[in-house]
Amino acid sequence: MLKNIILQITADKKARNIEPAHALFRDVFDRATIEGIAADEIRKGLNELYLAGEIEVGETLNDKWIRIL
């Protein structure tokens, strides 16, 4: 579910020619909350994806970026 949300955000940014085309944590969190996922489940799910090597995470000035590997 979270992986699909990240892919949707990335695809949307690419379609609108927004660079860099990675998802921000805030965007993923907001969209997942709208879909009814609890805050602790969002963080737990992202941590699991990171530990499994399915996503890459980095720092921005005000947030974290997330990219599917």
Q: How far, in whole angstroms, is CA 16 from its chain's centroid?
A: 17
DSSP state of 23: E
Question: pLDDT value at position 56?
Answer: 96
Question: What is the rounded end-to-end Cα distance, in angstroms, of the chain?
Answer: 16
Q: Which domains does the chain have, with CATH numbers?
A: 2-68 (1.10.10)
- On whether the CB atoms of residues 30 and 20 are closer than 8 A, the answer is no
Task: Indicate the pLDDT class of residue 27, thresholds 50, 70 and 90.
Answer: very high
Name which of 19, 39, 20, 14 is nearest 29 in CA terms.
Answer: 39
Task: Indicate the pLDDT class of residue 46, thresholds 50, 70 and 90.
Answer: very high
Q: How far, in whole angstroms, is CA 57 from its chain's centroid?
A: 9
Question: pLDDT value at position 22?
Answer: 94
Question: Mean pLDDT of all residues in the chain?
Answer: 95
